[in-house]
Amino acid sequence: MHFAYPGFLFLLLLIPLLIARYARGAAGAPLVYSDIKRVKNALRLRGGGVRTRIAGDGLFALRLMALILFILAMARPRTELVSTQVYSEGVDIMLTVDVSGSMNLIDLDMQNQRTRLEVTKDAVKRFVNGRGNDRIGMTVFATDAYLQCPLTIDYDIVDALIDQVHIGMVPENSTAIGNALASSLNRLRYSETKSKVIVLITDGANNDGQIDPFTAAELAKTLGVKIYTIGVGGLGTPYVKVTTILGEQLRPYPEAERIDEKSLQKIADITGGQYFRAVDVNRFQEIFDEIDRLEKTEIKSEAHRRYNEMFGYFLIPALCLLALEVGLSQTRYRKLP
């Protein structure tokens, strides 16, 4: 609780002065009485002077307490009620994931023998679950591009649809990066969100599709969409899992298509994004952590202050005490003329 007009509290300094003045004049204070009969018998009542003094002190105390409460009421005591309204400006993010046959190669996580796509799915899920107020969608592509998940803030749905991503869900003979970017842009072009992002994840080079990747990047720039590109693949020779009479084994696959890093760098540069190279599991996580820092949700808060006025809790008792003092002084403890 605080006071809106604390200057009135200086009037409380008058209270000691009033008490001192009353104490000096108490010896000559007039006798109070409730009726004529009591006045006639005053001299015969044992201890009458003491009762008279007590009555006078009581009336003064009532008047003094009423004055204190009036002063506190004038200082306008109140409590502050603050309500905060939070506004968040989220980011619309389209994850664009390569599901061509080469994503079945193993080189990012040799210890657990996980494919590039399996490592990608784990990194993407971790990224999604780390966002707060962003809409996230997903496009998968190989020879062509398909929408796997529309933009949504239901991250449980996004997680479930990421789990369903697999090699072969899209014809996998080639890689149509331009078509994939165009498909993701089609989902972002009507977005009214201030920040729009595409995260392109691929391990190859554009070798199919009707749309050139650089044309798609220029269109993204026009629409205010930033593209982050991630090249997936280790620095050495990848491996492929094969089934033999001895069970599943890893065999080198030196003929694997190499990442077109120059094109991925150019796509990112055109739109103001960045290119990253994921060479292992840890680097993959670091890349998404960096994108997470670069594309932060903008959060604004606005505080609304309201006040609960408390002066009534002082004013009403003050009036009651004053009424009681006046009533007693005019009846039971009425002063002699």
CB atoms within 10 A of CB 51: 15
285 & 149 share domain: yes
What does each of the 337 residues of the chain score in pLDDT, given as a tens digit?
Answer: 777 788 888 888 888 887 888 777 655 545 555 555 554 555 444 445 555 556 667 777 877 888 888 888 788 888 876 655 555 567 899 999 999 999 999 999 999 999 999 999 999 999 999 887 889 999 999 999 999 999 999 999 999 999 999 999 988 778 999 999 999 999 998 888 888 999 999 998 999 889 999 999 999 999 999 999 999 998 889 999 888 777 778 899 888 888 999 999 999 999 999 999 999 999 999 999 999 888 876 545 555 667 778 778 777 887 887 787 777 777 766 655 5
24 & 168 share domain: no
Burial status of residue 168 (CB atoms within 10 A of its CB: 0-12, 13-18, 19 or more): exposed
What are the C-alpha distances in Å from 260 to residues 57, 82, 157, 181, 319? 99, 56, 32, 16, 87
189 & 313 share domain: no
DSSP 8-state secondary structure symbol assigned to residue 236: S
Q: Which domain holds residue 141?
A: 91-296
pTM of the model: 0.64
112 & 24 share domain: no
Cα 209 to Cα 29: distance, rounded to the nearest angstrom: 109
Q: How many domains does the chain have?
A: 2
72 & 185 share domain: no
* CB-based contact 82:304 (threshold 8 Å): yes
73 & 109 share domain: no
288 & 313 share domain: no
